[in-house]
Amino acid sequence: MSENLSNLLKEDRRFAPPAELAANANVTQETYEAAANDRLGFWAEQAERLTWGEPFTEVLDWTNPPFAKWFVGGKLNVAYNCVDRHVENGLGDKVAFHFVGEPGDTRDITYAELKDLVSQAANALTDLGVRAGDPVAIYMPMIPEAVVAMLACARLGAPHTVVFGGFSSDALASRIDGFGAKAVVTTDGGYRRGSASALKPAVDEALAKLGDASPVGNVLVVRRTGQDLPEGSWAEGRDVWWHDVVEAASTEHTPELFDAEHPLYVMYTSGTTGKPKGILHTSGGYLTQAAYTFWATFDHKPDDVYWCTADIGWVTGHTYIVYGPTANGATQVLYEGTPDSPHKGRWWEVVQENKVSILYTAPTAIRTFMKWGDEIPAEFDLSSLRLLGSVGESINPEAYVWYRENIGGGTAPIVDTWWQTETGGHMISPMPGVTESKPGSAMAPVPGIEVAVVDNDGRPVGNGQGGLLVVTEPWPGMLRTIWGDDERYKDTYWSRFAEQGYYFAGDGAKLDDDGAIWLLGRVDDVMNVSGHRLSTTEIESALVSHPKVAEAAVVGAADETTGQAVCAFVILREEAGDGGADIVEELRTHVAREIGPIAKPRQVMVVPELPKTRSGKIMRRLLRDVAENREVGDVTTLADSSVMDLISKGLSGDK
Ligand code: ATP
Ligand code: MG
């Protein structure tokens, strides 16, 4: 890409693993060496974490790249691996989920109970005609039945696609259609910010939109809120209540074996850079990487209480709530609500009450807590936390240090995990017992994964240089294709470095002088100002390091003189009020000082909110539309689609 990407981030703080953690760590320096010496042998060993009905005969078949087959000939049942075998191994009474509902209702589900629930749901789906290979759509809030529905599909070999409960009926309709879903599992509604909001009507609308073309035979509805369904919502014959068919079903269900390459699910990407892609994951390889990375990155021990705050409508909720932790027999918290309902200390109360020891969340949440103030988490006992994780975007160094100090008691290591829907599991992350971490850097590939930072011709850049992030060797959890579109799969990920056979991740990255990896944001988002290439991530981190700024998003907007100009959108911290009359100049000067005059934003706009996806990623393409005075593009995958109106309204005054 360019030399100019390497002039930034003069971060020199380092955090070594706590001695006790290092002494008992799941992953050690030797693990890296073993994996490097025999990569496929290493993954074959990790596959033995799973229980196979029939052993695989070959680790990887890469004879038809980029179409991989992992653990060839092996057969397994994913749900059996995540549930039944723990019960058989005497862990039936261990809690799988401490469910915490937003209104304050709680429910503990043991592995034995989970086995019954999943078996009942599998029997009910079978009665509704769902067979192995039949696609099922799941459109639900964060309640135990959502996890049960996913595992029941896995048990039947019926691939699922989970559609985020916050999406509109349009987004749902296009996914049902694209996926060819035979059944939909949903709820009457869910709780959000203290009130019940309906879900079922969106399913009705989606199916009405599809009309005769709808592939859906049945809609299975969980009663969560008990709210009245709108007049005419119930379609006899099509709609069935979960409590009628699942609770009445037998708890006996024999899991069938499926091929290692049997489709497990399709997850649509966030659409931050374009139309969402239906990413296909299969069974044996995916579950191996999910199980291994959960154990390794989080240094998971049997008595840990783990909490991942992601929604199951995002890949993180798939790999690091539903599949990875349960494959390890972990105990976890499942929380339905938002961080500020009924109060801004809600998460910390959940940590305190459940003695959470491992917390996995996104930088956007951390910045929100920073904005709300240190005194809120300080009111709670967070001493149970021993390890913290971050995912979704680069964590700004300021947010990292705040997280470590205010949530991690100044001692808990932070694992900054880089991965994608496409990669299925962690790819780059510190290992908490080994890595001396730098705030803002995802550090190094996890054992068994090979990545590189390369220039436009696919040549590795040296330390201290920036370029494009690629994965140089196939990995078990890799996507197998884009659902129904092999050409787009090849085109999107494998054509850019076809000669070298590298997977192109679409992210810019930099190697520092020690070879640590710093993610710099999407290649599509890189700005070109007077011939200098600038990273959104670095300018955003510079803005967030200013005491008045809570969040920042930076885009490049067309500019007659410089080609592109830096436009920044910032949210101020609560204690900063309106920032004062000189806030814009103050921030422009701050960026120039932190990074250099070339990075000085042409415009700084103070806004109340930023457009984000369900996973908390900023949709920069929409902000680019604003910065270039265009009509705002597709907003269907925003967590809250009204945000763009808020921003436009706020700005129209000063234009
Ligand atoms: P789309 O491809 O439709 O734009 P998406 O890429 O936002 O959707 P995900 O697969 O959830 O959907 O996001 C993966 C991307 O998130 C990565 O490519 C990277 O840009 C970013 N990301 C995730 N984790 C990290 C991290 N720890 N550090 C930096 N960036 C990260
Ligand atoms: Mg992506």
Cis peptide before 413 (omega within 30 of 0): no
**Judging by DSSP bridges, how do beta strands 106-110 and 95-100 pair with one another?**
antiparallel
- Are 346 and 339 in contact by the 8 Å Cβ rule? The answer is yes
Give the Å distance between the CA of 522 and the centre of ligand 2: 8
Pairwise CA distance, residues 627 & 648, whole Å:
10
| Mean pLDDT for the stretch of residues 583-591 | 95
Tell me if 361 CB under 6 Å of ligand 1.
no
- How does pLDDT run across 626-636, given as a tens digit for each residue? 999 888 888 87
Cβ neighbourhood burial of 26 (10 Å; 0-12, 13-18, 19+)? middle
- Indicate the annotated binding residues for Mg(2+): 544, 546, 549
What pLDDT is recorded for position 646? 81
231 C-beta neighbours (distance < 10 Å), count: 6
Tell me if 625 CB under 6 Å of ligand 1.
no
Cβ neighbourhood burial of 156 (10 Å; 0-12, 13-18, 19+)? buried
Tell me if 179 CB under 6 Å of ligand 1.
no
Name the closest ligand to CA 314: 1
Tell me if 540 CB under 6 Å of ligand 1.
no
Evaluate if residue 260 carries a pLDDT over 90: yes
Tell me if 522 CB under 6 Å of ligand 1.
yes
3-state DSSP assignment of residue 541:
helix
Ligand 1 atom 19 nearest Cα = 393
Q: Is the dihedral of CA 368, 331, 100, 135 positive or negative?
A: positive
Q: Is 530 left (phi over 0), alpha (psi -120 to 50) or beta?
A: left
- Are 556 and 26 in contact by the 8 Å Cβ rule? The answer is no
Give the Å distance between the CA of 420 and the centre of ligand 1: 5
**Apex 312 CA angle, 311 and 315, nearest 5:** 100
Backbone angles phi, psi at 621, to 5 degrees: -60, -30
Pairwise CA distance, residues 450 & 471, whole Å:
6
Give the Å distance between the CA of 392 and the centre of ligand 1: 6
Pairwise CA distance, residues 283 & 270, whole Å:
22
What pLDDT is recorded for position 5? 42
What pLDDT is recorded for position 634? 80
Chain-centroid distance of CA 499 in Å reads: 30
Least confident of 164-168, 299-303, 424-428, 474-478: 164-168
- Its ipTM equals 0.98
Name the closest ligand to CA 523: 1
Bigger pLDDT: 294 or 524? 294
What pairs with residue 554 in β-bridges?
A: 568
Pairwise CA distance, residues 549 & 367, whole Å:
10
510 closest CA partner among 541, 489, 531, 479? 541
**Residue of 164, 267, 308, 420 with the most ligand 1 atoms within 8 Å of its CB, for mutation:** 420
Tell me if 418 CB under 6 Å of ligand 1.
yes
Give the Å distance between the CA of 541 and the centre of ligand 1: 17
Tell me if 615 CB under 6 Å of ligand 1.
yes
Cis peptide before 342 (omega within 30 of 0): yes
What pLDDT is recorded for position 143? 97
- Are 287 and 336 in contact by the 8 Å Cβ rule? The answer is no
Evaluate if residue 322 carries a pLDDT over 70: yes
Tell me if 271 CB under 6 Å of ligand 1.
yes
- The 3-class SS string of 292-316 reads HHHHHHCCCCCCCEEEECCCCCCHH
Residue entry with tokens 């269900």: 253
516 closest CA partner among 441, 428, 434? 441
- Are 97 and 125 in contact by the 8 Å Cβ rule? The answer is no
What pLDDT is recorded for position 4? 44
Give the Å distance between the CA of 506 and the centre of ligand 1: 9
Would you state the torsion angle of the CA atoms of residues 282, 285, 286, 291, taken in this order, to the nearest 10 degrees? 150
Evaluate if residue 408 carries a pLDDT over 90: yes
Provide the token pair at 279: 């990413």
Tell me if 393 CB under 6 Å of ligand 1.
yes
Give the Å distance between the CA of 166 and the centre of ligand 1: 19
- Indicate the annotated binding residues for CoA: 192-195, 316, 530
Evaluate if residue 654 carries a pLDDT over 60: no
What pLDDT is recorded for position 581? 86
Ion ligand 2 — residues with CB < 5 Å:
269
Residue entry with tokens 């509704």: 128
- How does pLDDT run across 130-174, given as a tens digit for each residue? 999 999 999 999 999 999 999 999 999 999 999 999 888 988 999
